Chains A and B, each alone.
Chain A
Amino acid sequence: MTEQNTIERNAPADRDGGTGGDDPIVQVRGLTKTYGNGFEALKNIDLEIQRGEIFALLGPNGAGKTTLISVICGIVNATSGSVLVDGHDNVVDFRAARSLIGLVPQELTTDAFETVWATVSLSRGLFGKPSNPAHIEKVLKDLSLWDKKDSMIMSLSGGMKRRVLIAKALGHEPAVLFLDEPSAGVDVELRRAMWDVVLELQKSGVTIILTTHYIGEAEELADRVGVINHGEIVLVEEKTQLMQRFAQKRLTLHLNEALSEIPDSLTDFRLELSNDGNTLHYAFDAKGERTGITKLLTGLQAAGITFRDLDTQQNSLEDIFVDLVRNGA
């Protein structure tokens, strides 16, 4: 690729019409959506997406993820509430709002008989951007689609079609990118490659909102995580905090001889002794600087406590998620 093909994406704050600064790039207020058949897909959603972050929206099937994205992008009319994109109302000021947004839908909805190049060019035009073959070339190369640019879309594999959809969204240089289940039906290698693209985009200043079933994807990519269930936002939190808050590890020691009580020298570790006295439990923060395990083991040795086996269990984001969805229901 030549130097001149490298196009800088504008950081959102540099865009015209935007207010810039620290205010959220997407603001959702009191959003509800009731479908014609009476189904309440969204119930009074409030959500703010910060500039430049990767936000993962988690939720089971039918939770309202796609409806929420569809309303923000203007595909579905809201029943009530408002959406601001970089300060622009997405109904009143829909041109300004929508021109900032790129959407990669969940379904592989592509034309069949068009070429990759034609469909990406169409996207760019629809979003009011003047033609820029160099930018489209860069996008296609970044997504390893360059050699397929003249192929009919119907001849491509599922993973390639997914990338074509991403290329269409990136073709018009969005400031906010919505990825609805980007990993659905994509093999592990391609998923990794896509994560790299997402992280690169974030570096160039694009805000990314992704919905996913794969908790690993959220763990890998997201700065913040939101959980939606039955049309309500159950939780929004920094991923690291969330992991810290919930993601404690638990060390279980199976003792050689039952203890009647925990020795005074070990009270600092806040150990739990099982009723039969055969196992000791120690909770620690796996991501913390010091887990205290070495200290504990030294302490145990000093107290003359021996054990025949040990194991650790980790609370993953998946456990947290399952927990939230069950209890929040």
Chain B
Amino acid sequence: MTSHSFNRRTFNWQAVWALFKFEMARTRRTLMQSIISPVVSTCLYFVVFGSAIGSRITEIDGVSYGAFIVPGLIMLSLLTQSVSNASFAIYFPKFIGTVYEILSAPISYVEIVVGYVGAAALKSIILGLIILATASLIVPLKIAHPGMMLLFLVLTAVTFALLGFIIGIWAKNFEQLQVVPLLVITPLTFLGGTFYTLDMLPPIWQKISLFNPVVYLISGFRWSFSGNSDVSVGISLAMALLFLAMGLVTVWWIFKTGYRLKQ
């Protein structure tokens, strides 16, 4: 047993792996809900916005409207799925009580976050890539900066999985669990340039939109496809990193104080 005695600094990879596997198994079991239904709804957006509206708009910044909305649609799914995956993953054990085991295990806060947020982020990244593949069957796509595209995908998935994790810990009931995704994240995504560029808006709304964090994520992500963006890609990247840092600080505080977990 010598190899498994713990000291303070040993990272409990076994535990992270166990949590991760457990969460991924949940996805396989709920394949319909986790993967298929977001793909179907994205296809519906394509049909409605891409074909119906796209036939009147034709081109934005030299890209067909159908291709233009692809990054936005991927972001839409990425944001909502990251949040709901991670929030549910930690809220449900809290709700049914199995969280006792996580809290009593020799596993640090960092490891809990890596396990839950990692699994939730990976799921939504896979989902994003599936949507991308599906979209490429419908509209011709080019990806100008594939490396940056992946970076934005990962950063956004991790950041919003962190946000979901925080919501899952904060929520005291299922209503609270739904309220942030429904009343905050979905509106911000729709108003964040999924279906339009900012310069299509009246000037005052362009200014207001800059307070919407999702604008930076979609803009940066779209830049990695087409090379065009609403705000400069440097600012987008800086903002994405800032949101990630804010998420990390909040999670650190939650575990530091035991907020709604150990009080």
Contact = CB atoms under 8 A, between A and B. Distances in A.
Contact of A109 (B8, B22, B96, B258): B96
Interface string A69-101: 000011111000000000000001111111101
A123 to B, nearest CB: 6
Contacts of A130: 4, 14
Given A109-B96, A126-B105, A17 B6 contact: yes
A85 B17 CA distance: 26
Interface string A49-78: 000000000000000000000000111110
Interface in B6-40: 6-8, 10, 12, 14-15, 17-19, 21-22, 25-26, 29
Question: How many interface residues does chain A have, given as a range?
Answer: 35 or more
B103 interface: yes
A93 B101 contact: no
Contacts of B5: 15-17, 96
Contacts of A230: none
A114 B22 CA distance: 9
B248 to A, nearest CB: 21
A323 interface: no
Contacts of B97: 105, 107, 109
Of the candidates B8, B17, B100, B258, the one having the most CB atoms from chain A within 10 angstroms of its own CB is B100
Nearest to A123: B101
Contacts of A214: none
Contacts of B149: none
A122 B107 CA distance: 13
B98 interface: yes
Contacts of A151: none
B96 to A, nearest CB: 6
A125 B14 contact: yes
Contact of B18 (A73, A112, A126): A126
B173 interface: no
Given A15-B5, A93-B8, A118-B22, A127 B98 contact: no
A168 interface: yes
Contact of A127 (B103, B106, B108): B106
Nearest to A125: B18
Given A16-B2, A96-B106, A118-B25, A103 B100 contact: yes
A278 interface: no
A129 B104 contact: no
B262 A76 contact: yes
A73 B104 contact: yes
A35 B100 contact: no
B9 to A, nearest CB: 9
B104 A74 contact: yes
A121 B6 contact: no
Contacts of A96: 5-8, 106
Interface string B91-103: 0000011101111
Contacts of A98: 104-106
Given A16-B1, A73-B104, A121 B18 contact: yes
A122 B22 contact: yes
A211 to B, nearest CB: 15
A248 interface: no
Interface in B107-145: 107-108
Given A99-B4, A107-B97, A113-B26, 14 more contacts: A17-B6, A77-B263, A94-B106, A95-B8, A111-B96, A122-B18, A122-B22, A125-B14, A125-B15, A125-B21, A126-B14, A126-B107, A128-B107, A168-B101
Interface of B: 1-2, 4-8, 10, 12, 14-15, 17-19, 21-22, 25-26, 29, 96-98, 100-108, 258, 262-263
